[in-house]
A and B are shown apart, each in its own frame.
Chain A
């Protein structure tokens, strides 16, 4: 197999080509899109989504889905907001720990209901989506966390440069992505996740503790949604119980699916998910730059997602015809 052949068999090639097409088209229409500023905007917009997508990807590979992540994000964000009001000197590390713990607990609750009572994860997390959102209102009393409630060092986490004009939030996201890659591709645990998603019954008969693996995925997914809550507070400077994180689960799930993760479980990759989220980020930044009127943006955004999914499937189909099939 030549190097070129191998290259053609990479599963992520489809989504990569689509990104190139979108970037070239956008640049032809308006060359402003190719400036550093718009790329900066892309890379500042994605950490939040990217981090959540890593957890969601694990859950989807494991044959489940977690649609409560938007509410977990909001709950973690509101919790940390109140911590900041009472203890403005809370360090970034401590804040990360608190949001991660809150998220992990909520994720595990999802996981426990799914595994213990054998209820489908869509139904469980649809329920907890409302439940957790309700908790946000109860805990906050409907009050919004404002800019001046959030300490400066937390705001600067996402706004000011940490290293070579890259903010710390992006570096932390990259680290999370790399760790996820290490787990999924190079560890026994990662293989057990793929095995469980591919065939839960065979996984059980092979000695894998399917319950533990599923709980792990939900726990990580919740944890990363919690961390995203801190990212949100830092980046937007406010947390509103009724707005924060609403609908974000659909962006995250769309990104994961566009990135080639199979909704039926058992396949998907960190690189693909990253590219999927990158594509969504690029489209999001490109639409306003291209002077597309506000009322059209949402429709066009959705249209591009549908086109990308179809094109990706077409490319996979072509590659399969080429022989051998795509690499996992």
Chain B
């Protein structure tokens, strides 16, 4: 239907991975009631999959790293120094980006134009020192990604709520890519997105990793995780039960650790 099968995509190695440079290391963080003793490392150029059942605490961990929620114990090291993101604003300044799982609830500004949605994470790059916006840089910057990702629309001024789910998702990802993140957290990025857009998105994710972005990929679709992630963190009831290398992982092993330890 889309010219090729999405199962063809295999985990891609890249140059950054060989350097083995850890960018984020999470040590024993806990949030009472939601998750405890979460530890993992994330390398430059790595795609780290998060598998587990819905409610295993994956989204909470992601939001905590992004500063949208607080943690009670443990520490997070970023580029060698301990950080604590008090708010998403702080995290964004450091180069974090978070694509939330619920697009409509947490991702888009429905009643706002596509262009303004795409450029909304980089206010300082589209405005002068008085905080006044340059319309030209808004359209050139957004057009770059509209073309790159084949976002289907009638004009950049169209309201984002009028686009299809897949195109909305591409806009959200464009928004974060414009901010050049060093850590990109994707929470169920392909939920409710059609097959064609899905494989486009896999390509984007692989390209980003190849450019050195560290990616946390939360997904409930095991084939997706298996075909993208270099390592897979399996969570169950708020705890990490296993971190698997891609070559050791299969749907069966992941499910085994996701359901019982």
Chain A residues packing against B (C-beta within 8 Å): 1, 182, 186-189, 191-192, 194-195, 197-199, 201-209, 262, 265-267, 324-325, 327-328
Contacts and interface: CB of A to CB of B under 8 A. Distances in A.
Interface string B138-162: 0000000000000000110111001
17 contacts: A187-B130, A191-B116, A192-B123, A199-B106, A199-B109, A199-B110, A202-B100, A202-B105, A205-B98, A207-B87, A207-B92, A266-B111, A324-B155, A325-B159, A325-B162, A328-B111, A328-B112
B120 interface: yes
Question: How many of chain B's residues touch chain A, expressed as a range?
Answer: 35 or more
B222 interface: no
Interface in B161-212: 162, 175
Contacts of A207: 87-89, 91-93, 121
A205 B106 contact: yes
B100 A205 contact: yes
B87 A203 contact: no
B131 A188 contact: yes
Nearest to A262: B111
Nearest to A195: B109
Contact of B158 (A188, A195, A209, A324): A324
Contacts of A191: 112, 116, 120, 123, 133
Contacts of B28: none
Nearest to B98: A205
Nearest to A266: B111
B106 A266 contact: no
A194 B112 contact: yes
A149 B259 CA distance: 80
> Which 7 pairs show the lowest CB-CB distances between chains A and B?
A266-B111, A198-B109, A207-B89, A207-B92, A188-B123, A267-B111, A198-B111
Contacts of B87: 207, 209
Nearest to B113: A328
Contacts of A328: 111-113, 157, 159
Contact of B157 (A198, A266, A327): A327
A182 B158 CA distance: 21
Contacts of B157: 327-328
Nearest to B179: A207
Interface in B70-127: 87-89, 91-93, 98, 100, 105-113, 116, 120-121, 123-124, 126-127
B132 interface: yes
A267 B98 CA distance: 25
Contacts of B66: 205
Contacts of B127: 187-188
A324 B154 contact: yes
Nearest to B100: A205
A187 B126 CA distance: 10
Nearest to B117: A195
Nearest to A61: B111
B109 A266 contact: yes
Contacts of B159: 325, 328
A206 B108 CA distance: 10
Interface string B53-70: 000000000000010100
Nearest to A194: B112
A267 B113 CA distance: 10
B106 A202 contact: yes
Contacts of A205: 66, 68, 88, 98, 100, 106-107
A266 B110 contact: yes
B105 A325 contact: no
A187 B132 contact: yes
A182 B132 CA distance: 8
Contacts of A325: 158-159, 162
A198 B106 CA distance: 11
B89 A186 contact: no
Nearest to B123: A188
Contact of B133 (A188, A204, A262, A265): A188
Given A199-B106, A206-B175, A209-B89, 11 more contacts: A182-B132, A188-B131, A194-B111, A195-B109, A195-B112, A202-B100, A205-B68, A206-B88, A206-B120, A324-B154, A325-B158
Nearest to B96: A207
A269 B132 CA distance: 17
